[in-house]
Amino acid sequence: MKLLRVAAGVLNQTPMDWSGNLQRVIQAIQQAKSHGVAILCLPEMCLTGYGCEDAFLAPHVQSLSIQHLQRVATETRGLAVAVGLPVAHAGGLFNTVAMLVDGQIVGLAAKQHLAGDGLHYEPRWFKRWPAFQSVMIDIGGKNVPLGDLIFDIGDCKVGFEICEDAWVGSRPGAALAQRGVDVILNPSASHFAFGKHEVRRRFVIEGSRAFQVSYVYANLVGNEAGRTIYDGDAMIASGGKLLAIGRRFSFADVEVTSALVDLKWTRMLRLQTASFQPQVQPQGTSRTVEVDFQLPVAELIPTGTDQPRPTPATLAALHNVELLAVSCDLSTDVNDCSTTASPMPDAMLDTLPTKELEFTHAVALGLFDYLRKSRSRGFVVSLSGGADSAAVTLLTWFSWYLAARHLGLDGLLKKSRYIPAVADCLTQVKANRPAEMSERELARLLTHHTVWTVYQKTDNSGSVTEQAAQEIADWVGARHGVWDVQSLVDKYHGLAESSLGRPLDWQTDDITLQNIQARTRSPGIWMLANLHQALLLSTSNRSEAAVGYATMDGDTSGGLAPIAGIDKNFLRHWLRWLATEGLPELGPIVAVDAINRQQPTAELRPAQQAQTDEGDLMPYDLLDTVERLAIRDKMSPTEVLEHVAFQFSQYNHESLKTWVTRFFVLFSRNQWKRERYAPSFHLDDENLDPKTWCRWPILSGGFAEELKEIDRANHG
């Protein structure tokens, strides 16, 4: 056996937070050293942050990256570390990973396939590196190779697939295998989306099997730059077996997942593979960087223990076990009994098998990071007693609850001490905390100091929503108020009527009378946010955004729209799940029943009109289906109608035709609203955010010609 300990470091970075990013990189290296790691892979662009966008093109960003790379290199005595950064060469900028070995910069591998779809925009800043090419460049007065490289470090050959490289059909891993690599490192900045973990898991395991290598995948974690959430997802596989997997959605700044790999075993697998054809003739230069350094060899049984030497069966188990580790701050595999990491809550959080769990953890982490990175002192929510504002309020509580579970008192204090009320609270709790105080109670205490909610009622508001808002605020511990804003609405009515010379009437001025109520609620809630130096959260969801069912400068007011990336149908399902099941360690949240008993309504018309959202629009499950078919799948109105007529056969054809037509008209008419929405979190590949995902013209023909096809098809 030739055993090495390899590791994936997961980091919570921030674009151009130079000192912070550097500190976390060094912390990961120190953790890896303390556990005998030989090769550590850190995430893509971890020195600068992945989300620098056009700042990547600034010369000072490029030069500072090199300076910090040189600083990191001095920390790598005794091991090899892969660190991502942008590098300029020959008039182009390249997405690269520097290989640092025993204190030296020995070369830089460059990304060959750039991510240019969805929320990724890499071709705007970077050039793709051509396969089989390498050059020499100057780094700090020393010539080092750059390009399509492998690194031969003391008889261990290491190659790279950088994020997107592993997602394409022509993966560089195949060529790396032909050149005899033992370990492939994948430094990634792969955004969270529902179900994406399983895709990564497959290509890591399959890459290790097909290429007969050990494969190390390291991703970013947290809300790095505002909209995008990273879930961590460190993985290590060897010869088709998953050896270690890291905790997803960690609130820790640094987590390192490690495992033992046997180079002789993967080499033997390659020898046994009849279809494997090694590359025996170099193409041009060898593109292999010879590094005169012996990587530290791992011991199967740690020194200083009284454990018996491994038997042949134990050694065989190293290669046959399917899952060896779930990481915490630093984890290892079951063959190493020296793990010192603290117990990890939700130990199988690596899989998060349900969409409900992924949604809860992703948005909670996104909110927590947005709060601290923006240096805001809390959250403010206009809590209407409906599903959207209730969900947003609950998610603020989940952000504190999950942070408490992951970080503990000391970690919470370290990350949020800039908020005086939180620092005082945690200091007192730490000094006097009763042993029985749970993380649930701690989260409620922290929410009390950082979340303010207000129910703003008019004559059209009802006692049911007012009571529901109170129950949600009480459950999370928010400081809640009730404001009667009808007198302000009446003043605006009077101003408009004095200009018009007539009274406003629901028959002729319906939208105006609805909108003024929503807009009247905005100034006061903004004022509350300003007073507390807090972040005002908008409560609009994606279904409303699709058809513009929101009042600009009213319910869309806010600095962040945490649920604007999720559809209303799922949001209602999630609230029912919270009320009946919830997180495994928490159980049901009974207070949510008050929300779930209601039909969604804006409560902007008089009560006798019995206004509901679905009455104004269409059934939400239909709306969300039409949106996916029309926007995600790019179907025409006629094609959409054909699909929903089959799927929603409980509705008559004329109603379906009306609803499909309504969607296309409203979607095209309301792009300007989506352009003005507060930043939202990316949660799936059906996002409507025009800044990152769904480009659409503000002015267009509005599908006029396409909608005529529906009538022609019906009469054909």
- What is the radius of gyration, based on Cα positions, of the chain? 28
Give the separation between CA 369 and CA 372, rounded to whole angstroms: 5
| Burial zone of 276 (CB within 10 Å; 0-12 exposed, 13-18 middle, 19+ buried) | middle
Give the separation between CA 65 and CA 616, rounded to whole angstroms: 53
| Burial zone of 641 (CB within 10 Å; 0-12 exposed, 13-18 middle, 19+ buried) | buried
Tell me the two tokens of residue 339.
């793990």
Give the separation between CA 134 and CA 481, rounded to whole angstroms: 64
Mean pLDDT of all residues in 621-632: 95
Tell me how far CA of residue 406 lies from CA of 347, 349, 403, 544, in angstroms: 11, 12, 5, 34
Q: How confident is the model at residue 333 (pLDDT cuts 50, 70, 90)?
A: very low
Give the separation between CA 212 and CA 206, rounded to whole angstroms: 9
Q: Are the C-beta atoms of 615 and 605 separated by less than 8 Å?
A: no
Mean pLDDT of all residues in 164-176: 95
Taking each helix axis from N to C end, the angle separating 704-715 and 653-669, rounded to the nearest 10 degrees, works out to 170
For residue 219, what are the contacts with CB-CB under 8 A and spacing of at least 6? 8, 10, 43, 188, 189, 190, 200, 230, 231, 232, 233, 234
Give the separation between CA 152 and CA 191, rounded to whole angstroms: 31
Q: How confident is the model at residue 711 (pLDDT cuts 50, 70, 90)?
A: confident
Q: Are the C-beta atoms of 452 and 393 separated by less than 8 Å?
A: no
- Confidence at residue 715, expressed as pLDDT on a 0 to 100 scale: 56
Taking each helix axis from N to C end, the angle separating 59-73 and 18-34, rounded to the nearest 10 degrees, works out to 20
- Confidence at residue 338, expressed as pLDDT on a 0 to 100 scale: 27
Of the candidate ranges 162-171, 311-320, 329-338, 405-414, the one whose mean pLDDT is the lowest? 329-338
Asked if pLDDT for residue 425 goes beyond 50, the answer is yes
Give the separation between CA 562 and CA 698, rounded to whole angstroms: 23
Give the separation between CA 142 and CA 140, rounded to whole angstroms: 6
Residue entry with tokens 């239909």:
622
564-575 pLDDT, tens digit each: 999 999 999 999
171-218 pLDDT, tens digit each: 999 999 999 999 999 999 999 999 999 999 999 999 999 999 999 999
Give the separation between CA 349 and CA 84, rounded to whole angstroms: 27
Mean pLDDT of all residues in 525-532: 98
473-504 pLDDT, tens digit each: 999 999 999 999 999 999 999 999 999 999 99
Reported as half-sphere exposure (CB side, CA atoms, 13 A), residue 287 has a value of 27
Give the separation between CA 626 and CA 641, rounded to whole angstroms: 8
Q: What is the DSSP string of 192-257?
A: --TTHHHHHHHHHHHHHHHTTSEEEEE-BEEESSSS-EEE---EEEETTEEEEEPPSS--SSEEEE
Give the separation between CA 535 and CA 456, rounded to whole angstroms: 18
6-26 pLDDT, tens digit each: 999 999 999 999 999 999 999
Mean pLDDT of all residues in 679-700: 91
Name beta bridge partners: 145.
Answer: 136
- Confidence at residue 52, expressed as pLDDT on a 0 to 100 scale: 97
Give the separation between CA 348 and CA 331, rounded to whole angstroms: 13
What's domain 3-331's superfamily in CATH? Carbon-nitrogen hydrolase (3.60.110.10)
Of the candidate ranges 303-317, 423-437, 525-539, the one whose mean pLDDT is the lowest? 303-317
Extended strands (E) in 359-428:
379-382
Q: Which 3 state secondary structure label does DSSP give 667?
A: helix
Angle at CA 282, nearest 5°, toward 276 and 286? 115
Across 573-608, b (16+ Cβ under 10 Å) vs e yields ebbbbbbeebbeeeeebebbbbbeebebbbbbbeee
- Confidence at residue 284, expressed as pLDDT on a 0 to 100 scale: 47
Q: What's the pTM value of the predicted model, to 2 decimals?
A: 0.92
Q: Are the C-beta atoms of 41 and 57 separated by less than 8 Å?
A: no
H and E: helices and strands count for the chain:
22, 22
Of the candidate ranges 95-104, 202-211, 380-389, 593-602, the one whose mean pLDDT is the lowest? 593-602
CA 404, chain centre distance (Å): 19
- Confidence at residue 602, expressed as pLDDT on a 0 to 100 scale: 81
User: Of residues 347 and 540, which shows the higher confidence score?
Assistant: 540
- Confidence at residue 352, expressed as pLDDT on a 0 to 100 scale: 56
Give the separation between CA 263 and CA 214, rounded to whole angstroms: 8
Of the candidate ranges 93-107, 455-469, 680-694, the one whose mean pLDDT is the lowest? 680-694
**Residues recorded for the chain:** 716
User: Of residues 656 and 272, which shows the higher confidence score?
Assistant: 656
Asked if pLDDT for residue 593 goes beyond 90, the answer is yes
Tell me the two tokens of residue 362.
């992703």
Give the separation between CA 545 and CA 554, rounded to whole angstroms: 14
3-state secondary structure 484-537: ECHHHHHHHHHHHHHHHCCCCCCCCCHHHHHHHHHHHHHHHHHHHHHHHCCEEE
Q: Which 3 state secondary structure label does DSSP give 89?
A: strand
- Which residue type does 474 have? D
Give the separation between CA 694 and CA 627, rounded to whole angstroms: 12
DSSP 629: I
Nearest residue to 551 via CA among 538, 534, 563, 562: 538
Mean pLDDT score of the chain: 90
Nearest residue to 574 via CA among 352, 400, 395, 404: 395
Tell me the two tokens of residue 604.
């902007």
Question: What is the third-level CATH fold of 611-716?
Answer: Arc Repressor Mutant, subunit A (1.10.10)
Across 27-48, b (16+ Cβ under 10 Å) vs e yields bbbebbbebbbbbbbbbbbbbb
- Confidence at residue 485, expressed as pLDDT on a 0 to 100 scale: 96
Count Cβ atoms below 10 Å from residue 378 Cβ, excluding itself. 22
Mean pLDDT of all residues in 307-327: 42
Give the separation between CA 41 and CA 323, rounded to whole angstroms: 20
Question: What is the third-level CATH fold of 360-598?
Answer: Rossmann fold (3.40.50)
* Torsion, Cα of 589, 593, 598, 603 (10° steps): -60
- Confidence at residue 434, expressed as pLDDT on a 0 to 100 scale: 65
Asked if pLDDT for residue 378 goes beyond 70, the answer is yes
Across 225-242, b (16+ Cβ under 10 Å) vs e yields bbbbbbbbbbbbbbbbbb
Asked if pLDDT for residue 618 goes beyond 50, the answer is yes
Tell me the two tokens of residue 365.
């982490």
292-302 pLDDT, tens digit each: 999 998 876 55
Tell me the two tokens of residue 177.
């295998």
3-state secondary structure 129-160: CCCCCEEEEEECCEEEEEECCEEEECCCEEEE
